[in-house]
Amino acid sequence: MSNWIVAIDGPSASGKSTVAREAAKRLGGVYVDSGALYRGVTWKVLQQGLAADDSDVVARALGAMRVTFRLEDGAVRFCIDGDDPGAAIRSEEVAGSVSHVAAVPEVRQAVTGWLREMTRFGPLVMEGRDIGTVVFPETPFKFFLTARADVRARRRRQDLARQQEELDEGQVLCSLCRRDEMDSARPAAPLRAAPDAIMLDTSDMTIESVVRHVVEAVRRHDRGAEPGGADR
């Protein structure tokens, strides 16, 4: 298991980010947020005043972007044209447009290539929507997290509030449902669970409980070569 990959997929606000980040620490892997790359491209498109729902415009803009990666505090970070977008990629403006950008075939091809190249940083715990189905379908470590729509809307609203963005739960729920529909219906790498993924409904689970499910499942797979040593 010298170059293992843990794929954690699922819709927005299902708990993927927190679980993947903590699982990476416990397993001794590098955390990768694949959705941040789609959000980063979306942020750059919007920053340039371009139409995020015009696939030709997005594809041309992508071709002009210079994206670089670095390892920082156990996670892969990136810059676009020398700029780190930081928390700006978490805005509701970006969230409202990212499904359009992520559906562009050229964007998916580019991001998939970037993600596959990240194995150079070491073993990975990668979260996203198509990690176990498209990016690394050969990994034996696949998880799909989900949660009830009302729970996800509440979590997302809390995240936005921490960023000083105030939206009522109904608005957030509509936004999440719209994105789920777009992500599930797109022709290229739709949101879906891999047939061999372990399914976890996180609606009534604590983060600690979900993390333990993931970590223990990975370690059970190969007790003779446990990544990262004992649980911390």
* Domain definitions of the chain by residue range: 5-223
The amino acid sitting at 98 is: V
Q: What is the pLDDT of residue 36?
A: 96
Which class in CATH covers the domain with range 5-223? alpha beta
Number of Cβ atoms within 10 Å of the Cβ of 45: 26
Residue 155 has pLDDT above 90, yes or no: no
User: In the 8-state DSSP scheme, what is residue 86?
Assistant: G
Contact 50, 59 (CB under 8 A): no
pTM of the model: 0.87
Q: Count Cβ atoms within 10 A of the Cβ of residue 191 and give its class: 0-12 exposed, 13-18 middle, 19 or more buried.
A: buried
Q: What's the whole-number average pLDDT of the chain?
A: 90
The total number of residues written for the chain in this structure = 232
Q: What is the pLDDT of residue 230?
A: 38
E strands within the chain?
5-9, 30-33, 67-72, 75-80, 124-128, 141-146, 198-201
Q: What is the pLDDT of residue 199?
A: 97
User: In the 8-state DSSP scheme, what is residue 197?
Assistant: P
Q: What is the pLDDT of residue 228?
A: 42
Q: Count Cβ atoms within 10 A of the Cβ of residue 142 and give its class: 0-12 exposed, 13-18 middle, 19 or more buried.
A: buried
Q: What's the CA gap between 207 and 173, in Å, rounded?
A: 21
Residue range 34-92, pLDDT digits in tens: 999 999 999 999 999 999 999 999 999 999 999 999 999 999 999 999 999 999 998 88
The amino acid sitting at 171 is: Q
Percent of the chain surpassing pLDDT 70 = 93
Residue 102's H or E segment, with its range, is helix 92-102
pLDDT, greater one: 177 or 104: 104
Contact 135, 7 (CB under 8 A): yes
Q: What's the CA gap between 69 and 78, in Å, rounded?
A: 4
User: In the 8-state DSSP scheme, what is residue 214?
Assistant: H
